[in-house]
Structure 1
Amino acid sequence: MNILTTALQLFVQFATIGGGLWTVWGVITLAGGLRDHQGPQIQSGVWQAVGGGLIIAAAQLFNNIAL
């Protein structure tokens, strides 16, 4: 049971870090689109940032799973 708990914590940590990086990259894409006034790039950046937030939320939800 200890190995499973450790694996779950490791998954949560990697997913949270990955979601954070995905969110940051989305904000960078959004900023580039705003600078160049490109609608599709702005939309892509917004949805990428939202997706990163959802990845973080899902990872934290996994953190609450009781084994």
Structure 2
Amino acid sequence: MNENIVTSALDLFAQFAIIGGALWAVWGVISLAGGLKDQNGPQIQSGVWQVVGGGLIIAAAALFQTIAL
């Protein structure tokens, strides 16, 4: 029974991390769009890296979710 609780907690954590990574990536796209509109180089760079970071968070959470106990 304790294994089931731990597995459920890890799945919940992974789901929250995936949602958080998706929100982070969406905010990066918004920042990127604003930088492109204003032709602001540092804001464009920040937006691109934020999108990449959100993708990495999603990938890490998905990998974490596949770990079997």
On whether the aligned pair clears a TM of 0.5, the verdict is yes
Matches within 5 A, 1:1-67: 1-67=3-69
How many positions carry a matched residue from both structures? 67
Q: TM-score, normalised by structure 2?
A: 0.96
- C-alpha distance in 2 between matches for 1:62 and 1:38: 36
The runs of 4+ residues in structure 1 deviating greater than 4 Å are none
Q: TM-score, normalised by structure 1?
A: 0.99
- C-alpha distance in 2 between matches for 1:64 and 1:21: 22
Amino acid across the alignment from 2:23 = L
Amino acid across the alignment from 2:22 = G
Quote the sequence identity (%): 76
SS of the aligned residue for 1:65 comes to coil
SS of the aligned residue for 1:21 comes to helix
Q: Which consecutive unaligned segments of at least 5 residues does structure 1 have?
A: none
Q: Which consecutive unaligned segments of at least 5 residues does structure 2 have?
A: none
